[in-house]
A and B are shown apart, each in its own frame.
Chain A
Amino acid sequence: MPKPLLHVDQLNIGFDTDRGPIRPVRDVSVSIFPGQTVALVGESGCGKSVTAMSILRLIPSPPGKVLGGRVDFDGRDLLTLSEKEMRSVRGGQIAMIFQEPMTSLNPVYTIGDQIAEAVTLHQHVNKRQGFEIAEQSLRDVGIADAGRRLREYPHQMSGGMRQRVMIAMALSCRPKLLIADEPTTALDVTIQAQILELLRKLQRETGMSILLITHDLGVVAENADVVNVMYASRVVESATVEELFEKPQHPYTEGLFRSVPRLGGHKERLETIPGTVPNPARFPAGCKFHPRCPRTRAAAESAGPQEVIEIAGAGERFKVLRKCATDEPELREVQTRHWAACHLIEGFEQSPVTQPRLEHRREVVPVAIDGGAQRPMETATTAGFVAQTGGEVSR
C-alpha cells in the first residue's frame, strides 16, 4: 500500500484565549497521496484554516499550541522538527497560497524580488538565476510578458494577476504539497475559473499534491479527489468526491448541499442551515451539530420520551435525541471508503472506527449528481466558461 505524502494523524490544537481555552482542531486526520487534491470543506470558523496553518506550524504560539497528534510529511513528523528544519520545509516542500491576493504580496518590493527571494532561499542559486527562475515561473502560470512583469509592483496588478503571482511564487521551488487556503474566494467568478484551471494544469505538470481549503462546493466538485467536511473543529465526513456528492451521509453535509444555488431550482429562497457554527469557547455537549440538525429533530418526533431531550437552539425550543445531545459520535467508516460521524446513520454503531485513507484520483468531473445535491451553479459556470473559450477541463 503506497504511503501518503502527508498524513495528519489525530491532530489537536488548542488556543488559550481571554475567555478560556478553546479547541479549534480536534482529532483531525487527513491523508494526502502524491498528486492528489484533497479538499477541506466547511463554514467559516470550523477549523479548516487552523488545520492548514498547523501543518506548516504557523499558528502563533502562544496562544496556540499542539495538544496532540502527528503531522507526517514525507517520512518525518513535522511537529518534531526544529524551527530551522521547518523553515526549509515551508516554501521548499510545502507551499501555501492565501485567500487575499490583494494583500499577500509585499507592496514595497517588485514581483521579481519577492519570487526570487523565495527561490534563492530554498535553492542554491544566485540572485540572477533566481530571477531567471522567477521569470520562468511567471510564464508557467500564464503571465504574458513575464520579463516586464517581474519589475512591477503588486499595486500595478489586478487581483487575478496577483493570485497568479502568488501561485508562481509558491510553485517556484517545486513543492510536493501546495496548501491553497481559499485561493479563489476573493476573486470574481471568471477569474476563479482561470485560477482553478491553472492549478489543475500545474498539478498535472508537476505531480504535486494540493490541500484545497474552501467553503465553495462548486470548487470542490471541480477540483477535489477526496473531500473532508469539517464542522466545529472536527472532520464529520470524509469520502471521495463522487461518493460524497452522490450519497452525503452527514446531515451537515446534506445541509451544505441544500444551501448551494442550483440551476432549475424553483424555490425563491435559498435554503440555509439554521443557526451558526458554535463558538469554539462554547461548544455544545454531544454531537456539535445537534442544535442545528434536522435529522435528529425528525427522529425525535417518533422516538420514545426517554430517548428525547428538549433543548433551546436557534431561537426556539425543540426536541432532539438524547444520544445526539450527550454523546459525541466518532468518525466511523459507515460504508466502504466513506467515513462519517453521525449517530443517525444506519448501522453507525456497528461500523468500524478507522482513519480515513483514500488513495483516490478522480477520472471524471461529476457534472450532474442524482439524488442528494444537484450540480452547483458555480460548477456550471466554470465548466461552461472554460469550454466556451477553448480551455480544457480535465474530464
Chain B
Amino acid sequence: MPDAPELNTDAARSGPGPGPGAGRGADRPRASVALTPKQPTSDLLVALGDEGAPVEMATPSRIAWRRFRKNRQGMIGLIILLVLYTVAAFAGFFAPYDYADEVRELPWAPPTGVHFSDANGFSWRPFVHPIRIDFDENFATVVKPDESRRCYLRFFVRAAPYKLFGVIPGRTRLLGVDPLPDGTVASGTYYSRLYLMGADGSGRDIFSRICYGSRISMTIGLIGALLVLVIGLAVGGTSGYAGGWVDDVLQRLCEMVMLLPGFYLLLMLRFMFPASMDSTKLYFAVVLILSLVGWAAFARVIRGMVLSIRKEDYVQAARAMGLSHPRIIAKHILPNTMGYVVVATTLRIPGYILGESALSLLGLGIMEPTPSWGNMLQKAMDILELNQHPWVLWPGVFIFLAIMAFNLVGDGLRDAVDPRGLATR
C-alpha cells in the first residue's frame, strides 16, 4: 500500500471532481507522503504537522450502526419490527382472508389446529380438520372440527382479491386451505376455514384482521411520531434559536398543552371531529390528534438542546460565513440534535400505538369493520367473553410485541448514538 505509484494518486486527484460520495478512497494510498519532490518547499510545514487520519471513513451514522449491531436486544427488536412492518405492507398477502370476510355460522370459532397426523396416519403436507356444525342430544349447536376429514394447507393460493398499498391488485395469498373433499361439499354444515388465531363474534379470522390491523396500528405510531418530529423541531428550533419574546410565546403555548392530562386532551380533541367518519379520514384525524398531544414535551427538549448548540463556535462560524438564520437552524443546529431525536422518536412511537389503541378501544378511534389492534381488543373488554374465547386477546399480544420491539430498538439506538461514544475513533 505505501508503495502505491505516485502517478496513480495524481490521476485520482485530478479526476473529475471527487464529490462527497465519489470512491471511498479504498484504492488510494493511505497517507500521501508530504515530502514528495512535487510539493513546493513552503509546504514543508505539512510534513511537520498532523498525524495521519484513520484509514476507515467513519461517518457518525456508520459508527452508530456498528455499535447498534452489537446490541443483541436492539437487533431482536429490529427484527421483530421488520417482520411486523413487512406484514403491514403486504397484509393482503399474509392474511388468508379479507378482514371483512364473515362466516356468521361460526362465531367465536376456536383456533384451528394445523396437523401433520391424525387417526388416518401421517402426512407430509400439513392439514386442518374442517369444522362441522352439529346438534347434540340436547339439540344445542356443537361446533367442532371433524377429525375424520382433512383439508390440506396450501401456499400461494389464489383467493379473495386485495389491493397492495391500496393500488396494486392481487389475488395470491400466502396461506389457504383446500375446500372440502369431494362428496361432502353438499352437506352445508362443514366449513373448511383456517382460523390460526380463532375467529371473532362474526366468524371473521382474527389472524387476518391482525394482519390488516397492523397496517393501521404500525403506521399510526410512525406517522404520528414523524408529525411530532416536524412540529417539535420547528417549534423547538425556532424557540431556542430566536429567544426573546418568540421563545416566551412558544414556551407558554407548550406549557398550556402540557398542562392538560394527555388522555383528556386526546378525548377533547377527538370530539372536535365528527363522531363517525370514513375510515381514511378517521385514520388521519387520529394521527393528528395523537401528534397534537405529544409535540409539546418534545419541542421543549429540542429547545433546550438548541439553546446550548446555538452558542457553539461552529454556529458562530456559520454566521460569519454568511449563512442565513433558517439555514443555520436547519443545517447546523438541528442535525446536531439528531442523536437524541432518533432515540426519542423511537421511544415515543409505542405511546402513539397505545394512544390509538386506547381511542379505538373506547370506540372513538378506527371504526369497525376496519380492523385495528385497538378496536379488536374491544371484544376483550367483557370478562365473560374473554373467559370463553381467550383468543380475542391476540391483538394485545401484537401490541405488546410491537411496543417491546420499539423500546428495545430505542434503547439500542440510545447506546449507539451516545455522543461520548462518537468522539472516540
A residues adjacent to B (C-beta < 8 A): 56, 58, 62, 87-92, 95-96, 98, 100, 103-110, 112-113, 117-118, 121-122, 127-129, 131-132, 135, 142-153, 155-158, 160-161, 164, 166, 169-170, 190-191, 194, 197-198, 201, 389-392
Contact = CB atoms under 8 A, between A and B. Distances in A.
B27 to A, nearest CB: 11
Contact of B60 (A128, A153, A160, A191): A153
Residues of B in contact with A, size category: 35 or more
Given A88-B322, A144-B32, A106 B25 contact: no
B18 interface: yes
Given A129-B17, A155-B423, A90 B320 contact: yes
Interface in B308-333: 312-314, 316-324, 331-332
A157 B50 contact: yes
A94 to B, nearest CB: 8
Given A88-B322, A148-B25, A156-B58, A103 B314 contact: yes
B18 A90 contact: no
A148 B49 contact: no
A14 B281 CA distance: 56
A108 B338 contact: yes
Contacts of A109: 335
Interface string B52-82: 0110011110000000000000000000000
Interface of B: 12-13, 17-20, 24-25, 28-29, 31-32, 34, 41-46, 48-51, 53-54, 57-60, 244, 312-314, 316-324, 331-332, 335-336, 338, 422-423, 425
Nearest to A128: B17
Contacts of B318: 106
Nearest to B15: A147
Q: 6 nearest interchain CB pairs? A: A91-B322, A90-B322, A91-B321, A96-B320, A161-B50, A103-B313
Given A151-B25, A156-B54, A190-B48, A135 B18 contact: yes
A155 B422 contact: yes
A145 B19 contact: no
A144 B57 contact: no
Given A144-B31, A145-B32, A157-B50, A58 B316 contact: yes
A85 to B, nearest CB: 10
B19 A131 contact: yes
Contacts of B336: 106-108
B336 to A, nearest CB: 6
A100 B13 contact: no
Nearest to B324: A87
Contacts of B29: 145
B314 A158 contact: no
Contact of A391 (B44, B51, B244, B317): B44
A110 B323 contact: no
